[in-house]
Chains A and B, each alone.
Chain A
Amino acid sequence: MDEKEIGIYENVLEYISLELSQILKKIPDTYKSNVEEIRLRNNAPLSIYIKGSDFFITEEGIPTKNKDKARLVNGKEIIKTFQLISNYSLYAFEEEIRNGFITLKGGHRVGIGGKVLYGNNGIETIKNISSLNIRIAREKIGVSDGVIKYIVAFPRTIHNTLIISPPQCGKTTILRDIIRNLSNGLPIFGGAGLKVGVIDERSEIAGMYNGIPQHDIGIRTDVLDGCNKRDGTTMLLRAMSPEVIAMDEIGSISDVEAIHESLKAGVKVIATVHGNTLEDILSRRSLSILIKDKIFKRYIFLDNSKGVGTVKDIIEGDSFTSIKK
């Protein structure tokens, strides 16, 4: 288990400029297997995030809380890292850079900070890169095994489900694992699976790299990568005949339209949204329509009280009462 986690970390280091990756290679194994983010900022300490708290890294590769001992990252190293991340090919990542991040092999994501340039069609590119945030993706296979029984309905379908959670609590991780479970087939259904269409607007669910999903999303899953939810729903319904459509981070009016569209076609929806409580969601106009119309039959609330992806509560959508046992 740990060996694999360390392997993931070391693979990510391949994308960091040599000077820095050699330092990062020296940190203790216990840290390696838990690193969530590696942060490079121009003229700021090299730092890593582990379980919500940050550590600075010294020249010798020792994590510390003392910022004076930390190794500073310089602009040249950021540029080199950026070259490695973009595979020396900025032109191949125009679209990704406009969105502010690049997906690496393995589904890891790199957020980019710098000077944003506008052109005729909105954001053109980012130059003078000043910071990079490398988020290490760690898929947790099996995290949804406990919730899946609340979602399924008979015969062989699911309830429309909304996953509500604050950031960094495992929304996407749990959604991905639900997709995997439904798609691979469930014992409750006698092993049968559902056809799942994934609209992966932020390339976070499947982590597509060169057309290959970098995370396990199951055998009956079709992915529209980087597609917006409105267009994606139409495209999936037109030809992919999904039984379930999964999407991440809904919020805008057009997302709500997309959900209505799928419901009209009799397709079930699983979606995630930022928030802490049902009131949070109700206070957002576009989403409150969905809740008042009782479209979702299950609300899953997450927090990180017992680690990332802890299920805080599951609420039934008609009566708004907890059904978590």
Chain B
Amino acid sequence: MLLGQKLLLVSPIEVLKRLTTIWMEAGFWDTVAFSFTRIVLGFFLALILGILLAFISGRLRVVEVLLWPFVIVIKSVPVASFIIISLIWLSAKELSTFISFLMVFPIVYTNVLQGFKNVDKKLIEAVKVFGVSWRRSLLYVYIPQIKPFLISACSVSLGMSWKAGIAAEVIGIPQGSIGEMLYDAKVYLNTSDLFAWTVIIVLISVLFEKMFLLLLKKYFEGLVKV
């Protein structure tokens, strides 16, 4: 029987004990920084490109139609398939950035595009009649109405970028990543390390999500104050 032998399911106390020591180990912060920078980079790249392409698609129907098959493919292909295919093209180090990007991009793109389509047509007409500049239309009409869609997209995709990014690292095993730590924990049946790293991933992901959404909301509030 393996039960009670800290192998199948380690107790929460054991995990807490491991958490108190794990962060003091050499290379812990480098490992966290390695995965954090790459996953977050993928998230930001997808955010920027998703918003940009959604705006272009919102104005030019032809771009939306051209992008549609790509977005559908990214949405439906299993993440594991992407990880394995990407390993052929990319080095393991860049894998989590690319996979995080692929997870976030369709969510941001489709949400922002939906927001763009939901912008009050009567307001758009008013802006046209008054000859309001593109910059001011964006600030007063488009951003306030797209804002809830963007916040919702970020809220959903932030957690997913971490899940997929770490999964990519576990498969690609780039040296010095959180994924490598999880892989080692699995190979050496070190369940307490596995749970401790999982808790760390959840903490970083939640903290980053909360901070990012807070800053995003503050930014939008700042835009409204005129």
A and B are interacting partners: no
A positions within 8 Å CB-CB of B: none
Residues of chain B at the chain A interface (Cβ within 8 Å): none
